[in-house]
Amino acid sequence: MTPPAAGEFVPDPRRWRALQVCLAIGFMTMLDVSIVNVALPSIDAALGASSSQLQLVVAGYTLAFGLALVPAGRWGDARGRRRLMIAGLGGFALTSLGAGLAPTGGALAVMRLLQGLSAGVLNPQITGLIQELFRGPERARAFGAFGATIGISTAIGPLLGGVIIQVAGSETGWRWVFIVNVPVMAVVLPLALRWLPRTRPHGAPRSDPVGLALIGLTTVALMLPLVTTTGLGDDPARWWWWAVAAVVGTAAVVWERRYQRLTGAAVLDPAVLGQPSFRNGALLGFAYFAGFTAIFLVITLYLQSILGYTALQAGLVGMPFAIASAVSAALSGRLVVRHGRRLVVVGLVLVLLGLAGTDLAFRTLDASTVGWVVAATQLVTGAGSGLVIAPNQTLTLERAPVGSAGVAASMLQLGQRVGSALGVAVNVAVFYATLAAGGSGGLAVGRALMVTSALVAAALVVAVLDLRTRSAGASERGGPPAPATA
């Protein structure tokens, strides 16, 4: 047998088993973004938590998640991803147990912050490992599976939370919403130790603590006013944090450019940021997640708060989205290699059509029939969503150097987390402001869905522009568009 040439890619025989571990981790960390929402009334009744503590239970996880992404991606690139995944798994299990056993609202809020940090450590390693272990069509299939996981976990969170609370009872059921992570992680951790490969660290670049600190401060200043919004009587002064974000973010860019000139090891890698495919994909992901994440919140608010659906009933309305998203995301891994950005354009159009149908149903149907019709329209939305998330991730990271895969993935995910927070904040504000002004529930949810549709339409514009850029580049090279994956 001829040995591989120096620098030649040799597939790891354990790569598909490693992917299964990664998908399980991704499912649990993304599930915890949405599953807790239906547990808030039970937490309030059991612990007597204040409104600020309840807000931290939800927002603290998201904020800490986003804050950890870039440093964790940087460290995984430099030192190896396996050890970070093992540490993150242990941290996520322990903090989930701590959250489930929390005696007070304050203790629960602290555990959620630490749980979010653990999730932020884990997620860049998942995408980085996919970049490192797979090439060509196999990488697209792996990202397709990861995209299906994101879609299912986000959509199924309210349903699973409702089932757990109904089975365990409202008094203690909220504790099992967190503790359920522990047995899952007890199974995943030994498999991770066995199946995750010891990938080669890509050097040990300078730590750049100033750059990491500036990026972290910018992240906090961007997300803080978004994750603390309730839509009811929020203090407008919190938006001054965005002015802080603009100043600190500018300082971060200036510092990183200087640091790159001096050391060639800036956190914001110009080899990644300089690629139009990455910039366009990151912008598309930001806009789409701003709309995508808010869909479930707005629908759940209307069904439960206005129409009186139980948490379980509201969750069942979202099941067709999860199923359709999983199927189309799995198929997208094969289709993106052939169709590239065109596949994303088709997916976004389907999402917009599904949202239009959902809006029409809410405005015209009564409580006895609206749930069934919305489930059908969300089937269309889910089918489109599965053609967006995974293919966009594949196309955005296709030219990212393997040695920078963790940072590239963390920057992409950070944009998605900020987009999610923005979409939720705006939609909640629109929903409750309409009700406060005397509007009907149908009008409130309709206006919120219009905001969601506008954000998805913005993602569609970016996708079309990126498609034109890729087509123009292919014409200049005198050949067909470049393959979807490197």
Indicate whether 9 pLDDT > 80: no
Indicate whether 249 pLDDT > 60: yes
Q: Buried b vs exposed e over 191-205: b needs ≥16 C-beta within 10 Å?
A: ebeebbbebebbeeb
Listed residue (180, 185, 388, 178) closest to 291, CA to CA: 388
Lowest mean pLDDT among 265-269, 323-327, 402-406, 465-469: 402-406
**What are the pLDDT digits (tens) for 191-247?**
999 999 876 665 555 567 888 888 889 988 888 887 777 666 667 777 888 899 999
Averaged pLDDT, 142-155: 82
Query: Which pLDDT value is given to residue 87?
Result: 93
Residue 190 CA, distance from chain mean position: 26
Sequence-distant (6+) residues with CB within 8 A of 129 are 18, 19, 22, 81, 85, 196, 199
What is the percentage of the chain residues whose pLDDT exceeds 90? 30
CB-CB neighbours of 190 under 10 Å? 9
What is the percentage of the chain residues whose pLDDT exceeds 70? 92
**Regarding predicted confidence, which is higher, 374 or 39?**
374
* Identity of the residue numbered 141: R
Q: How far apart are CA 313 and CA 13, in angstroms?
A: 43
User: How does residue 119 score in pLDDT terms, banded at 50, 70 and 90?
Assistant: very high
CB-CB neighbours of 209 under 10 Å? 10
Concatenated DSSP letters of 333-365: HHHHHHHTHHHHHHHHHHHHHHHHHHHHHHHH-
Query: Which pLDDT value is given to residue 39?
Result: 82
Q: How far apart are CA 372 and CA 306, in angstroms?
A: 16
Per the prediction, the chain carries an average pLDDT of 84
Query: Which pLDDT value is given to residue 459?
Result: 95
3-state class (DSSP) for residue 204: coil
Query: Which pLDDT value is given to residue 226?
Result: 77
Q: How far apart are CA 428 and CA 287, in angstroms?
A: 17
Averaged pLDDT, 305-327: 84
Averaged pLDDT, 422-451: 86
Averaged pLDDT, 67-83: 84
User: How does residue 477 score in pLDDT terms, banded at 50, 70 and 90?
Assistant: low
**What letter would DSSP give residue 302?**
I
User: How does residue 484 score in pLDDT terms, banded at 50, 70 and 90?
Assistant: very low
**What are the pLDDT digits (tens) for 392-412?**
988 888 877 766 777 788 888
